[in-house]
A and B are shown apart, each in its own frame.
Chain A
Amino acid sequence: MSGHIHKDYTGAKFGMWLFLFTEVLLFGGLFILYSVYLARYPKEFISAGKELNVWFGGGNTLVLLTSSLFVAVSITALRRGAKRLCLGLLGGTIACAAIFMINKYFEWSAKIHHGIYPGSPHMKEMMPGEVTFFNLYYLTTGLHGIHVVIGGLILTWAMILIKSGRVNADDWVILENAGLYWHLVDLIWIFIFPLYYLILH
């Protein structure tokens, strides 16, 4: 070593991937619950799924796919030395995270307004399969929403480090790993959207 600090990028990225696998298994458990109950209550899942608004789900799909593009391009921008472009793209990603959560707020508010929330009097009158569908919907999209907020905070932190120059064209693995986390958030939504919003629409 010629005096500079050794950086193990492969190790850093591999560690992040190992963490992402645990996230996949966490959401995997929720998708297993979904599939088991879909097999048990196919009719109820379809009638309950019709209550979800495709426009909210579809709109948020576009927002997340675009935010994923921004993060991916921001890494290339940073490594090519285009710091301002990189910061602009990360700002765009965080804006997408905010738009996603605002959409989610309106979507959940509309549902709650219609009396659809866990333990509500209206849900007590529903068929068991429908209750399961909505409970899983709140649990899965809620856990995913928490990940969106955490992802936004991690990207904000990465932005601060880039601004100060601590993360730069030669030392970018923090942005790489922050990006990996953000893409995972997008990946989970890629499965949530068709399973919850499009089920025999």
Chain B
Amino acid sequence: MSEEHVHIVPYKTFLVIWLALLILTGITVAVAQFHFGAWNIWVALGIATLKSGLVVAVFMHMKYEDRLFRLALFSALAILAIFIGLTFVDVLYR
């Protein structure tokens, strides 16, 4: 494949994603006003994960890259998850 034909993302797509990010920021602030106990942190992390997914997929063009890029991304995230998981196995059951 010629490098010249790499996907050019239209302006409108970026504007839609930006609006979605602003709305999600509003939701995360609004939700934080209610107290669900331990659930607050999970809701906040869920929305943050969704927001970062949008940034990575569209702003950072991950959606349009080779499969190799996604494979590398998921490997890195898996390493981070193992890192977090093993830390908590140690901390919680010490």
Q: What is the bound-complex CA distance between A40 and B94, given in angstroms?
A: 12
A-B contacts, 10 of them at CB < 8 A, read A24-B77, A32-B84, A58-B25, A58-B29, A170-B4, A180-B60, A187-B56, A191-B45, A194-B45, A198-B29
| Alpha-carbon gap, A80 to B7, bound state (A) | 12
CB contact list, B63-87 vs A, under 8 A: 65-66, 68-69, 72-73, 76-77, 79-80, 83-84, 87
Q: Give the nearest-CB partner of A9 in chain B.
A: B3
**A-contacting residues of B (Cβ < 8 Å)?**
3-4, 6, 8-11, 14-15, 17-18, 21-22, 25, 28-29, 32-33, 35, 40-41, 44-45, 47-48, 51-52, 55-56, 58-61, 65-66, 68-69, 72-73, 76-77, 79-80, 83-84, 87-88, 91-92
Q: A65-B22, A69-B15 are in contact. List 18 more A-B contacts (CB 8 A).
A: A13-B69, A14-B68, A21-B76, A25-B83, A58-B29, A65-B18, A68-B18, A69-B14, A72-B59, A176-B61, A179-B59, A186-B55, A193-B48, A194-B28, A194-B44, A194-B48, A198-B29, A199-B41
Cross-chain contact B41 with A38 (CB below 8 angstroms): yes
Interface residue? A201 (CB, 8 A): yes
**Which A residues fall within an 8 A CB radius of B?**
7, 9-10, 13-14, 17-18, 21, 24-25, 28-29, 32, 35-36, 38-40, 54, 58, 61-62, 65-66, 68-69, 71-73, 75-76, 79-80, 170, 176, 179-180, 183, 186-187, 190-191, 193-195, 198-201
Q: Say what secondary structure dominates the interface of chain A.
A: helix
Q: B14 to chain A: which residues have CB within 8 Å?
A: 69, 72-73, 76
The one of A7, A10, A28, A75 that contacts B80, using a Cβ cutoff of 8 Å: A28
Nearest Cβ distance between residue B19 and chain A, in whole angstroms?
9
Tell me whether B84 and A183 are in contact (CB under 8 A).
no
Contact yes or no, B33 A25, CB < 8 A: no
Asked if A61 and B25 sit within 8 Å, CB to CB, the answer is yes
Q: Which residues of A contact B84 (CB under 8 A)?
A: 28, 32, 35
